[in-house]
């Protein structure tokens, strides 16, 4: 009898119980499954693994914080990706590491064996498609399971809708429509949807949709345009078959702006109908939930969200603009929970990164009161608790936020920074990697990855993070040469990539442009201490930071930062740290 199996399962050792349970459920569905607990005693491990990988029709990789660090799991995933047999699932909400994060991943976080949940349906459908193929989709096993599992039969990329308004400042509206349709479609369990960040990499390129479908391995592409003028809006949308280039559905909506919610619902439901997918009642309700009935509040919120996503991170004026726009949205609809949450997030950043007196807690609590299922407010409260030394409670809130929205860039940012402050360098790498993959103008996450990988001695990871940081900061600096925070981050990437002269020039320019920017000073001091070995200048650069910083969270960050290991025992560093902690009424010794 042949040892060929339908499914090969790759996982980290700590996930063995989950892997065993998933294997048993797949066997119950009629699949033959192989795990490494079946290794024969007389054969070499690597030989058997390679043989099973090649023969498997589907390779299921179970990602977790541990497996993202496993060279074995990564190698097996890479082999499956090349062979076109890769199926992915996350067990703890961790996004697959690059380059696997560009491929759809089923969410099995907290899975209790419920075969009707969206995550299991997506996994089972993908495995079934690879193992049984289209000709066998109606076999008896599939028929028996159809009542409890709708296989994923289609995948889609929503290209950013083109702004046809003739006004660049209206870009936020067309981008917001594209993102909302992406979000709506991602709620359909039978449909795989390409992440926003990947889809927006095609913005402004006018790509061939068949090339897009082939590059992203999707069956369909949605493209469209938006023209907003006064109180009117015109939206054109076309659903295209990625293999033939033919239109499956197209429509034009020429309505009053007050109908924008109805238009978005119609587009999403039309796509579901065109693809002949089943929309479950809970999915229909989720798609129709908008958070507000005020079109003016929604329009203003879109402006604020676009500022946060596309703006220059680290610029206090950006955060102040977001707060101001959210205040306007709240004035139009006092019960708009998303606007309250976004306001709280920007207030938190102003307080932590820019030493302002903003208090984000009231806005966060109001958002939680209006919608307990929003993830961001729990991150705000977690920061407060962590600042008070209540680390376990803070961790519980962060984990709750990750459960509520595991694909949130903001939530992964806050989770990774909390781990970093507690010296959990290995744990926070996966969250920083995920943040970097979710937003292509985020230079802070790859900047932090440089610190983590350098501390861990991972030269390949360090170089990759440095390249990403430089690429993203160069885009920011080209657009705004006065963005000193980006200059500081970019200088660290430059020196790590061997361009010392340019790194020094960026440092000099940043200190000259805005010597009072504390965030910039901190990051430049890291580069001076770690990469230039200039402890004298690093300490001098930090002096103003410690004299003015008013955040206990920043202090905990500095105490945990491995970039300062070379100066941590210097009496001058210890004195500056001690005086700052006395001023902030913090314990003299690090907790």
Q: Peptide bond before 7: cis, by omega within 30 degrees of 0?
A: no
Q: What is the pLDDT of residue 279?
A: 67
Residue-wise DSSP of 228-267: EETTEEEEEEEEEETTT--EEEEEEEEEEGGGHHHHHHHH
- Rounded-to-integer distance, Cα 100 and Cα 79, Å: 11
Question: Which range, of 140-144, 401-405, 552-556, averages the lowest pLDDT?
Answer: 140-144
Give 252's strand partners. Answer: 236
- Rounded-to-integer distance, Cα 6 and Cα 26, Å: 10
The answer on 324 and 243 residing in a single domain is: no
Average pLDDT value for residue range 192-196 = 82
Give 154's strand partners. Answer: 191
The answer on 273 and 242 residing in a single domain is: yes
Average pLDDT value for residue range 497-518 = 93
Cα angle for residues 252, 254, 255 (degrees, 5° grid)? 140
The answer on 174 and 112 residing in a single domain is: no
Please write the tens of the pLDDT for every residue from 469-485.
Answer: 999 999 889 988 988 98
Give 151's strand partners. Answer: none
Tokens representing residue 379 in the block: 């991150």
On average, the pLDDT of the chain sits at: 83
Q: How many CA atoms lie within 13 A of 576 on its CB side?
A: 21
Burial of 41 (0-12, 13-18, 19+ CB in 10 A): exposed
The pLDDT-based confidence of 583 (bands split at 50, 70, 90) is confident
Could you say which of 519, 551, 577 is where a domain stops? 519
Nearest Cα neighbor of 522 from 486, 474, 558 is 558
Note whether 447 and 494 are within 8 A (CB).
no
Note whether 323 and 301 are within 8 A (CB).
no
34 phi/psi in degrees, rounded to 5: -125, 130
Q: What is the pLDDT of residue 5?
A: 67
Burial of 285 (0-12, 13-18, 19+ CB in 10 A): exposed
The answer on 358 and 340 residing in a single domain is: yes
CA distances from 530 to 450, 492, 499, 549, 556 (A): 11, 9, 15, 22, 19
Residue 526 lies in a domain: no
Question: Which range, of 22-26, 135-139, 458-462, averages the lowest pLDDT?
Answer: 135-139
Could you say which of 496, 519, 542 is where a domain stops? 519
The pLDDT-based confidence of 137 (bands split at 50, 70, 90) is very low
Tell me which of 580 and 38 has the higher pLDDT.
580
The pLDDT-based confidence of 133 (bands split at 50, 70, 90) is low
Q: Which residues contact 168 (CB under 8 A, 6 or more apart)?
A: none
Tell me which of 106 and 503 has the higher pLDDT.
503
Residue 576 lies in a domain: no
- Does the structure show a pLDDT above 60 at 314? no
Q: What is the pLDDT of residue 124?
A: 85
Tell me which of 138 and 399 has the higher pLDDT.
399
CATH of residue 112: 3.40.50.10140
Average pLDDT value for residue range 365-373 = 93
Q: Is residue 137 within a helix (H) or strand (E), and if so which, with residue range?
A: none
- Does the structure show a pLDDT above 50 at 145? no
CATH of residue 193: 3.40.50.10610
Tokens 């959990």 label which residue?
Answer: 424
Q: What is the pLDDT of residue 46?
A: 57
Residue 351 lies in a domain: yes
Burial of 571 (0-12, 13-18, 19+ CB in 10 A): exposed
- Rounded-to-integer distance, Cα 525 and Cα 512, Å: 15
The answer on 273 and 195 residing in a single domain is: yes
The answer on 252 and 175 residing in a single domain is: yes
The pLDDT-based confidence of 140 (bands split at 50, 70, 90) is very low
- Does the structure show a pLDDT above 60 at 274? yes
- Rounded-to-integer distance, Cα 197 and Cα 437, Å: 7
Phi-psi region of 498 (alpha: psi -120 to 50; beta: other; left: phi over 0): left
Note whether 499 and 518 are within 8 A (CB).
no
Question: Which range, of 78-82, 220-224, 550-554, 575-579, averages the lowest pLDDT?
Answer: 550-554
Question: Which range, of 300-304, 421-425, 538-542, averages the lowest pLDDT?
Answer: 421-425
Note whether 539 and 567 are within 8 A (CB).
yes
The answer on 358 and 424 residing in a single domain is: yes
Q: What number of H helices and E strands is found in the chain?
A: 26, 11
- Does the structure show a pLDDT above 50 at 136? no
The answer on 232 and 250 residing in a single domain is: yes
Q: Is residue 303 within a helix (H) or strand (E), and if so which, with residue range?
A: helix 295-310
558 phi/psi in degrees, rounded to 5: -65, -40
Q: What is the pLDDT of residue 139?
A: 39
Average pLDDT value for residue range 357-367 = 92
- Rounded-to-integer distance, Cα 233 and Cα 227, Å: 6
Residue 527 lies in a domain: no
The answer on 423 and 324 residing in a single domain is: yes
Residue 553 lies in a domain: no
Note whether 22 and 60 are within 8 A (CB).
yes
Tokens 């589907």 label which residue?
Answer: 58
Note whether 224 and 161 are within 8 A (CB).
yes
Q: What is the pLDDT of residue 4?
A: 55
Average pLDDT value for residue range 509-528 = 91
Residue-wise DSSP of 464-530: HHHHHHHHHHHHHHHH-TT-HHHHHHHHHHHHHTT-HHHHHHHHHHHHHH-TT-HHHHHHHHHHHHH
Residue 457 lies in a domain: yes
Backbone Cα Rg of the chain: 25
Could you say which of 519, 536, 557 is where a domain stops? 519
Strands 220-229 and 33-34: unpaired
Looking at mean pLDDT, say which of 112-116, 171-175, 204-208, 490-494 comes out highest: 490-494
Please write the tens of the pLDDT for every residue from 44-96.
Answer: 545 667 777 888 889 999 998 888 878 788 888 888 887 888 999 999 888 78
Average pLDDT value for residue range 430-443 = 82
**Among the residues of 186-216, which ranges form H helices?**
196-199, 209-216
Tokens 């941590």 label which residue?
Answer: 568
Residue 31: domain span: 7-145
Residue 571 lies in a domain: no
Strands 247-256 and 232-241: antiparallel
Residue 72 lies in a domain: yes
The answer on 209 and 126 residing in a single domain is: no
Q: What is the pLDDT of residue 528?
A: 94
The pLDDT-based confidence of 310 (bands split at 50, 70, 90) is low
The pLDDT-based confidence of 142 (bands split at 50, 70, 90) is very low
CATH of residue 364: 1.25.40.10
The answer on 199 and 254 residing in a single domain is: yes
Q: What is the pLDDT of residue 284?
A: 72
Q: Is residue 164 within a helix (H) or strand (E), and if so which, with residue range?
A: none
Nearest Cα neighbor of 58 from 124, 7, 120 is 7
Q: In what order do the strands lie in the sheet with 7-10?
A: 33-34, 7-10, 58-63, 86-90, 106-107
- Does the structure show a pLDDT above 80 at 141? no
Q: What is the pLDDT of residue 503?
A: 95
The total domain count for the chain is 3
The answer on 307 and 261 residing in a single domain is: no
Note whether 224 and 237 are within 8 A (CB).
yes
């Amino acid at each position: 009898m042949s040892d060929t199996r339908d499914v090969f399962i790759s996982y980290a050792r700590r996930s063995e119980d989950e892997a065993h349970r998933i294997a048993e459920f797949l066997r119950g569905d009629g699949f033959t499954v192989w795990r490494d607990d079946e290794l024969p005693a007389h054969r070499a491990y690597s030989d058997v693994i390679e043989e099973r990988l090649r023969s498997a029709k589907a390779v299921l990789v179970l990602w977790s914080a541990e497996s993202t660090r496993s060279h074995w799991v990564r190698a097996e995933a890479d082999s499956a990706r090349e062979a076109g047999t890769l199926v992915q699932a996350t067990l703890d909400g961790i996004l697959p590491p690059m380059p696997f994060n560009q491929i759809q991943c089923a969410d099995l976080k907290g899975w209790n064996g419920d075969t009707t949940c969206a995550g299991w349906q997506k996994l089972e459908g993908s495995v079934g498609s690879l193992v049984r193929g289209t000709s066998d989709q109606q076999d008896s096993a599939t028929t028996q399971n159809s009542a409890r599992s709708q296989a994923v039969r289609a995948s889609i990329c929503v290209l950013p809708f083109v702004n046809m308004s003739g006004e660049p400042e209206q870009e936020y509206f067309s981008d917001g429509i594209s993102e909302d349709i992406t979000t709506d479609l991602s709620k359909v369990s039978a449909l795989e949807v390409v992440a926003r960040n990947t889809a927006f990499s095609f913005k402004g390129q006018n790509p061939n949709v068949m090339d897009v479908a082939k590059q992203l391995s999707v069956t369909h592409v949605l493209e469209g345009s938006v023209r907003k003028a006064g109180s009117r809006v015109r939206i054109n949308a076309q659903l295209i078959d990625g293999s033939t280039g033919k239109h499956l559905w197209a429509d034009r909506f020429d309505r009053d702006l007050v109908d924008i919610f109805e238009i978005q619902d119609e587009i999403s439901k039309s796509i579901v109908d065109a693809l002949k997918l089943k929309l479950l009642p809970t999915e229909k309700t989720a798609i129709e939930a908008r958070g507000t009935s005020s079109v003016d509040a929604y329009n203003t919120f879109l402006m604020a969200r676009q500022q946060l996503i596309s703006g220059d991170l680290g610029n206090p004026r950006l955060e102040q603009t977001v707060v101001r726009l959210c205040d306007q949205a709240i004035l139009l609809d006092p019960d708009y929970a998303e606007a309250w949450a976004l306001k709280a997030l920007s207030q938190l950043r102003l307080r932590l990164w820019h030493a302002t007196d903003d208090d984000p807690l009231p806005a966060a609590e109001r958002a939680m009161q209006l919608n307990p299922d929003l993830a961001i407010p729990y991150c705000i409260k977690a920061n407060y608790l962590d600042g008070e030394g209540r680390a376990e409670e803070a961790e519980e809130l962060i984990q709750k936020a990750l459960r509520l929205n595991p694909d949130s860039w903001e939530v992964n940012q806050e989770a990774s920074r909390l781990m970093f402050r507690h010296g959990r360098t290995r744990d926070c790498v996966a969250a920083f990697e995920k943040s970097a993959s979710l937003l292509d103008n985020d230079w802070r996450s790859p900047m932090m990855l440089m610190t983590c990988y350098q501390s861990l001695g991972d030269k390949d990871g360090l170089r990759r993070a440095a390249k990403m940081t430089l690429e993203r900061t160069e885009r920011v600096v080209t657009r705004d040469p006065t963005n000193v925070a980006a200059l500081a981050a970019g200088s660290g990437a430059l020196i790590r990539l061997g361009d010392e002269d340019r790194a020094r020039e960026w440092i000099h320019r940043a200190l000259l442009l805005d010597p009072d920017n504390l965030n910039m000073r901190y990051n430049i001091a890291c580069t001076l201490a770690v990469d230039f070995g200039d402890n004298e200048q690093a300490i001098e650069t930090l002096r103003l930071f410690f004299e003015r910083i008013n955040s206990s969270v920043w202090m905990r960050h500095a105490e945990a930062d491995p970039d300062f290991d070379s100066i941590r025992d210097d009496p001058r560093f210890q004195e500056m740290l001690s005086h700052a902690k006395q001023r902030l009424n913090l314990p003299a010794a690090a907790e």
